[in-house]
Structure 1
Amino acid sequence: MSSLVMLPHTLRIEAYTPSKAEAWNKLVATSANGPFLFARSFLDYHQDRFTDCSWLLWQGSKLRAVFAAAVAHNSPAPTTLVAHPGLTYGGLVTVAGVKYAELAAMMELLLSTWRTAGFQHLLVRPVPRVFCRQYSESLAFWLHQHGAVLSSRELNSVLDLTKPVRIGTWRRGNLRKARRHSVVVRQGTHEEYAAFWHLLTENLLATYDSQPAHTLVEISSLRDRNPDHLELWVAYVGAEIVAGVLVFQDGRQGFVHTQYISGSPRGKQVGAVDAILAHLIREKPATYQRLSFGSSMLQGAINAGLINQKEGFGTTGEVMDTYTLKLQ
């Protein structure tokens, strides 16, 4: 893989190496559209699973953008570059104020580099609107102009925390139920992660015959590496944890995202999950502008029960698109 290519318009591209971590992190921390998940403290925790194929784009001595991508070690398509296989999204992260002509020049330089490296396809989901301080659809337009195919589309439920929240009748009923059963909501301790992970794993196995995307060890490592960005909120009835919500959050980009939501059978009976979500809606608006409830898709179709719960809190739908671009 070529590490350096020069163009007449002074843009240059450099393959990411650990020696560039500080420059990478500084750009992400001040970017228009780079959530904390793009920091190397998050990206590198699962580096044993992927071959990193990320890039830095410079203009003179100024870093203007990074492109987060990798190929999974066990990938059946090693010539497909994925942005990013360890995240739900990836791709180009830029400084604020990048105009379309500059973005297009960056992408042309990346395109040439990927072709030289032998990649056949690019699979990319640009950072969705909810996770961006300064959202732009310029990359989606560039991809369309270059023949990229919309290969998948998911629906994310998003709540605007800057406006009054109108909770639906069914959700209000669950909140009354939680009050009647003296459900107590509070921020979870490190020790309570294990109890919640046990509850979450049992739920996923029973309902979907699946496992959490992260193990307890992995999520604990991510929490320790990114201490300001992961929070666990739990609900108790008496001395028993009956529900939990793990959130990813980024005050600078302005979002809270419910990464994992789960309740025990008892928790479901007493409206414990709704009590946690209502607590987050009340407590987060001072710092955060948007609450992402995540996708409601199951095997390519809408999970009616899941989206109904989210819409009961007043969410609206935003699409998360994935594109496939043929490179050769």
Structure 2
Amino acid sequence: MSHLPAVTWVEPYAKAHEAAWDALVAASDNGPFLFQQSFLTYHQDRFQDQSWLVWQGQELRAVFVAATAHTTTAPDVLIAHPGLAYGGLVTVAQPKYTEVAAWLELLRAAWQAAGFRQLILKPVPRVFCRQPSEGLLFWLHQQGARLTGRELNSVINLTRPFRIGTWRRGNLRKARRHGVVVAATAADSEYAAFWDILTQNLLQVHGRRPVHTLAEICRLRDQNPDHIELWVARIGVEVVAGVVVFQDTHQGFVHTQYIAGNPFGKQTGAVDAVLAHLLEVKSAHFQRFSFGISTVHGEVNQGLLNQKEGFGATAETTDTYTLELQ
């Protein structure tokens, strides 16, 4: 009997594929929980999904996370992903490079047939991958893709000892003197209190609001209770600082999505108290801690970077590539 290899083919994502999509992401080498459909669809009012599936016969081998913004002036530019910090190819069972390259060629042909002239891709950074693989990056290089953006993330390996610097240790002593207490909370009232602090900080420093509204982050928390947490610092009953973490035990990371403190919280070292507590409690269950980027369009915010490096973080880049399709 002949055993011919199953035909490989690609198709756009549709709602009927949700269970297969989520199962692949949950088992994947590099697909964080943000790629689950329960998370991806929270902002479907702003983005048109343009994700794709890679099949080998009836087996789903990979997915490609991408979209276009409803308000875009360039609907023929495919972005992976405009509503997230990254996107692109998600694989399972560590495929060979020849397989990855063949899948990407099929996807490129499909994108061209769909009328896309350009791909802007922000690959999943290594810190968020259980099993990093750079086959996609090599394929992009081979196809003449341009590196069009590079930001600086700060990362701690939680499986190895790390040293908190003198300045940060001083802030932790200050927090203890002021009676700062750190705890996780799921209370809507404390989410609201922290969101007020966060919004004021972002408006004053950057002139913008948080990416997520309070209603959105609470809905995402309820849909992803194991993946999204708020840790607050209280002095008495007042919330003076907090950190929202996105975490994924399968991929092995904790990421500080939002960090903020009010003036009293900053004065009393409360922000550093939350971060130090997180590093202590999360090291038992996670391998890597991501502080997030300290750059805007490649320009370093030195104060922000100093804070993260004061906890022992080292630099890791997050990149953007542009590939012409036509």
TM range (shorter): over 0.9
What is the aligned partner in structure 2 of residue 3 from structure 1? none
Distance in 1 (CA, whole Å) between partners of 2:295 and 2:266 is 21
The secondary structure found in structure 1 opposite 2:103 is: helix
Q: Which amino acid aligns with 1:57?
A: V
After TM superposition, give the deviation of residue 299 of structure 1 in Å: 4.1
Provide Cα deviations, 1:50-107, integer angstroms capped at 9, x if missing partner.
1111111011111100001110000121110000111100000001220100000000
Task: Report if aligned partners of 2:151, 2:296 keep a CA contact under 8 Å in 1.
Answer: no
**Alignment partner of 1:119 out of 110, 116, 120:** 116
**Alignment partner of 1:190 out of 182, 187, 208:** 187
The secondary structure found in structure 2 opposite 1:123 is: strand
Provide Cα deviations, 1:108-135, integer angstroms capped at 9, x if missing partner.
0000000000101000011000000000
Task: Report if aligned partners of 1:96, 1:134 keep a CA contact under 8 Å in 2.
Answer: no
Deviates more, 1:186-195 or 1:276-285: 186-195
Instruction: Kindly indicate whether residue 30 of structure 2 is the aligned counterpart of residue 48 of structure 1.
Output: no
**Alignment partner of 1:266 out of 260, 264, 267:** 264
After TM superposition, give the deviation of residue 38 of structure 1 in Å: 0.4
Distance in 2 (CA, whole Å) between partners of 1:201 and 1:37 is 23
Provide Cα deviations, 1:199-243, integer angstroms capped at 9, x if missing partner.
100111111111101110111111111111000000011121100
Instruction: Kindly indicate whether residue 78 of structure 2 is the aligned counterpart of residue 78 of structure 1.
Output: no
Structure 1, gaps ≥5 residues long:
1-7
Deviates more, 1:186-195 or 1:99-108: 186-195
After TM superposition, give the deviation of residue 323 of structure 1 in Å: 0.2
Distance in 2 (CA, whole Å) between partners of 1:41 and 1:70 is 16
TM-score, reference length from structure 1: 0.96
**Alignment partner of 2:170 out of 153, 170, 173:** 173
The secondary structure found in structure 1 opposite 2:276 is: helix
**Alignment partner of 1:96 out of 90, 93, 96:** 93
The secondary structure found in structure 1 opposite 2:285 is: coil
Provide Cα deviations, 1:254-293, integer angstroms capped at 9, x if missing partner.
0000000000000000000100000001101111000000
Instruction: Kindly indicate whether residue 56 of structure 2 is the aligned counterpart of residue 59 of structure 1.
Output: yes
What is the aligned partner in structure 2 of residue 308 from structure 1? 306
With over 3 angstroms needed to count, the CA separation of the structure-2 counterparts of 1:195 and 1:11, relative to structure 1, is: same
Structure 1 residue ranges (4+ consecutive) displaced by more than 4 angstroms after TM superposition: none
Instruction: Kindly indicate whether residue 229 of structure 2 is the aligned counterpart of residue 253 of structure 1.
Output: no
Q: Which amino acid aligns with 1:280?
A: L
Task: Report if aligned partners of 1:201, 1:212 keep a CA contact under 8 Å in 2.
Answer: yes
The secondary structure found in structure 2 opposite 1:179 is: helix
RMSD: 0.9
Instruction: Kindly indicate whether residue 182 of structure 2 is the aligned counterpart of residue 211 of structure 1.
Output: no
After TM superposition, give the deviation of residue 10 of structure 1 in Å: 1.4
What is the aligned partner in structure 2 of residue 36 from structure 1? 33
What is the aligned partner in structure 2 of residue 326 from structure 1? 324
What is the aligned partner in structure 2 of residue 5 from structure 1? none
Provide Cα deviations, 1:126-178, integer angstroms capped at 9, x if missing partner.
10000000001110110010010001000100001001120000000000000
Distance in 2 (CA, whole Å) between partners of 1:82 and 1:216 is 26
TM-score, reference length from structure 2: 0.97
Structure 2, gaps ≥5 residues long:
none
Distance in 2 (CA, whole Å) between partners of 1:62 and 1:193 is 42
The secondary structure found in structure 2 opposite 1:152 is: strand
Identity of aligned residues (%): 64
With over 3 angstroms needed to count, the CA separation of the structure-2 counterparts of 1:152 and 1:9, relative to structure 1, is: farther
**Alignment partner of 1:164 out of 161, 166, 189:** 161
**Alignment partner of 1:225 out of 193, 208, 223:** 223
Q: Which amino acid aligns with 1:270?
A: T
Distance in 2 (CA, whole Å) between partners of 1:9 and 1:104 is 17
Provide Cα deviations, 1:6-56, integer angstroms capped at 9, x if missing partner.
xx9711111100110000000000000000000000001111111111111
Distance in 1 (CA, whole Å) between partners of 2:275 and 2:122 is 27
Provide Cα deviations, 1:296-315, integer angstroms capped at 9, x if missing partner.
01343000000000000000
Task: Report if aligned partners of 2:151, 2:297 keep a CA contact under 8 Å in 1.
Answer: no
The secondary structure found in structure 2 opposite 1:203 is: helix
